[in-house]
Structure formats: C-alpha cells, structure tokens
A and B are shown apart, each in its own frame.
Chain A
Amino acid sequence: MKKRDWIVSIISGITLGMLFVSSGAYSTVLAQKQTVVTGPLNQIIATALNSHTRWQTLQGEAEVTWYGSNEETQTYLMNFEISQPVKGRIETTSKETNGNDGIWISNGERIYDLRNADKTYVEGSIPAFAKDLSQLPLTIMDVRKDMPMPHPFAMFISSPLRDLIYPTEFIQSSELSSLRLIGEETILGRKVWVIVREDSSTDYSKVWVDKSTGIFLRYEQYMNGEKWMDLSFKSLEFNPAIHPSTFELPSGYRPASIP
C-alpha cells in the first residue's frame, strides 16, 4: 500500500466508526435482544409495556401476604394514591402489627419514607430521569433482557405495589418464551388475562393482567415450589381527582439520623 492508501483507509475507518457510534448501532449490536413471540402473548406484552400511558391518576386499596417457613405469614394493607408523572402516597399497615408500617410520599420534588415505629423519615430527591420515559421500551423489539429498564418513577416507589401498577420490569426481565397464557378471568369487574412466567422449575409467577390498561390486578410469586407472595388490589379507581394535600409530609415525624 502507498502512503495515500493508508491515509484514505484511516480517515474512512474513523468516519465509519463515528457513524457506527452516533447511530447507536454499536450498542444495538452488543445488546441481547428478546425472543420474538407471536399470538395473544404479543398483545398482552405490548399492553403491559404501555400500561403507564392508559391512566393519569390511580387510587385504591391493595393487600399483600408473604408466606414464610413454618406456615408463618405477614400481611400488609396498602392505601394508595398515584398521580403521574411523579406524585404518590402509599400508607402501609401491618395486619400482625409487626412494626414494619410506614408511609411513602412523593410530592413531585422530594420523596419521604416515613416509619411509624419510631416516627422518623428519610428523604431523597427525585432525579430528572424519573420523568423521562424516552428509554422505556414500548415494544418487544426494544426490550433488552440483560438490562431490563424499570419505569423510572416506579424505581422510587418503596412498596410491592409498584409491581402491580408499573408492570414493565416484570415483562422485560422474563425470558418471553417462558410466558404462557393460561386463561381469562374477571377481577373487580374487569376482564383479565392470566399468564404464568417460569423462571425455573421451582420459581415462577402468576399474574392477572387487566385487558384495558395492562396493569396487574393480582400477582402471585412462588419460590422453591412454595408460594412466597400474593399481592392484589382490593379496590381500584382510575383517574379520580386527588387533592394536592394528599402528597404533603404529615406532621409528627423527624428525620432519621441513619437511613
């Protein structure tokens, strides 16, 4: 090769490299894409991935029961109000009065985790990306199974309720080929798909997906072949008017020294 060939080759290589990086092709090539699924599952997955676009405010009551060893259980009631994009309040009460009660509040600028046991709270900021939905996959083709992208506000919700309200991480984290539609039912007067996700022969989940919004109305989780969690809405109202004072920090709590 002559000197001119070397110069042309190197300049062409740099130009190609810049195009490759700026177009996002580099990370696309490296990304682990999801298996393609067809049929009704495709519709269910798309509905769940887009569920946050189908409501603005949400209000209701939910209950979760955790199943420990020796038939011990822990049950929590959760009263909640959520106002998109980044406001919410969840009040959690233990049925067994085990002291693990609290209130989680996001006022749109700050997040407060209040513990009822010692009347303390920890406070954190809401980063800008919590409102940025641009990185959230809306179709199966956008899903990267090695790095599931949770709904950016759901990450900050300190309650199992987020798995019902923002189901996008559940869908992305699963091997889509492990999802099976096993039936259709009605919960709280709403039509649902019932799907099972098998992570292994002993670890699996069963979820009831609201047909019109994609929200999970119920979520059962099994670990080591035993039921681990049963989470469901007891009441649910879409797009109610929520008073702004709902998201204010209540009096009587003090900042915790160490979270």
Chain B
Amino acid sequence: MRKVISRIVLSVAVATLVAFLFASMANAAGPYTITENTLYSAGGYYPPIQIYNPGCAGNYCRYLVQDNYPDTWRWAYTKPNMYQLWVYRPLVGQAAAKYWWLTYRYGTTKDSWFVTVDQSKNKGTWAYLGFADYVPNDKGELRLSEACVPGYWCGGLKVYWDNMKYNTSP
C-alpha cells in the first residue's frame, strides 16, 4: 500500500513539473526588453544624453530637450515576429512625445504608425503601444523624437528614451 501511494505521489509530482515546463515554454515568446543603452540615428544628429536616475528602468535613461527640430533615434531592432509593444514611462518624465512603430517584411515597411505618450502621466508604468497587423515580420523597430506635440507644453522639457519591451507571436 505504501509503495502504491509513493508511486502516485511521485507521478503527480512529475505531471505537475511537466505541466509547468510546458506552460513556460508556450509562453517563451517574451516579453523581451530592449534598453536605451544602444540607440541608432533614424534622422537624428544629436544623440540622447545618458543620465543616472533611480526613477528610470535599470536606473539609467537617455534624453533630449524638446524642440521643433526633431532628432529621431531608434532602439535596436527586435527579433522576427514582433507582436505587442510597450515602452516604460520613467518617474522623471514630463514631456509628451510621439513614438513611431515600424515592422518590416522582406525589407518592406508593413506596420507604420504613431502613438503619442504623455510621459508626465501614469509614470512608472508601461505604456502600451499596440500590436502588429503584419505577423510574420522580419523585425520591428521603435523610434522617438524630441519634437513638440501640438496641445502639449512645448520647450525646455526632457523627452526620455528608456526601456521598451515586446513579445513575439508564438
């Protein structure tokens, strides 16, 4: 009897472990994080300046002071099949900024849209930027400029580049 019970207990333990591993693998499509440590020009001359601040994800952000002459910088490209996208609003944020999301398939632009995020609101949370219309895709990218947005305060505020994260369509 004791042997039977130990067999059952062991079988349940193995089944639970396998179930957990399966669920984890099925959700292994992210989210992946891309930091602002490596930014690339996408029509920008002045690179965003790095600062240390505990209010930034990972304690570091980059910024440019807003104006009407945009310097556009992008995060590193994502893996293929980028699906949903978020960007972190650091606790030090104050300006409204326009993010530009693109995906590519066979080198051609597929998704291309703009999402305005007011970095002064809901600070310390991830701003949702939506999900791709075109999956599969080769890669995706997120761009940001320090240009003023009509209707929001313009001039002298810092526009922050902080972590972005995304998942891929499984």
Contacts and interface: CB of A to CB of B under 8 A. Distances in A.
Interface of A: 1-2, 5-6, 8-10, 12-14, 16-18, 20-21, 26-27, 64, 66, 68, 74, 76, 78, 90, 92, 94, 98-102, 104, 111, 113, 115, 117, 122, 124-130, 145-150, 152, 155-161, 163, 169-170, 173, 199, 203, 221, 223, 228-229, 258-259
A259 B100 contact: yes
Nearest to A30: B27
B26 A21 contact: yes
A10 B15 contact: yes
Interface string B21-52: 11100110000000000000001000000000
B23 A17 contact: yes
A173 B10 CA distance: 44
B23 A20 contact: yes
B72 A259 contact: yes
Given A16-B19, A125-B112, A155 B68 contact: no
A68 B100 CA distance: 27
A221 B120 contact: yes
Contacts of A101: 150
A223 B94 contact: yes
8 contacts: A12-B15, A13-B15, A13-B21, A92-B150, A113-B98, A124-B113, A148-B128, A163-B118
B27 A115 contact: no
Residue with the highest number of chain A CB atoms closer than 10 Å, among B22, B118, B132: B22
Nearest to A99: B68
Nearest to A130: B130
Given A1-B10, A258-B70, A76 B150 contact: yes
Residue with the highest number of chain B CB atoms closer than 10 Å, among A12, A14, A26, A155: A155
B16 interface: yes
A138 to B, nearest CB: 17
A258 B43 CA distance: 7
A113 B43 contact: no
A9 B23 contact: no
Given A5-B10, A10-B14, 16 more contacts: A1-B11, A5-B11, A10-B18, A16-B19, A20-B23, A100-B150, A100-B151, A100-B152, A101-B150, A102-B150, A124-B112, A127-B111, A127-B113, A148-B128, A221-B121, A259-B147
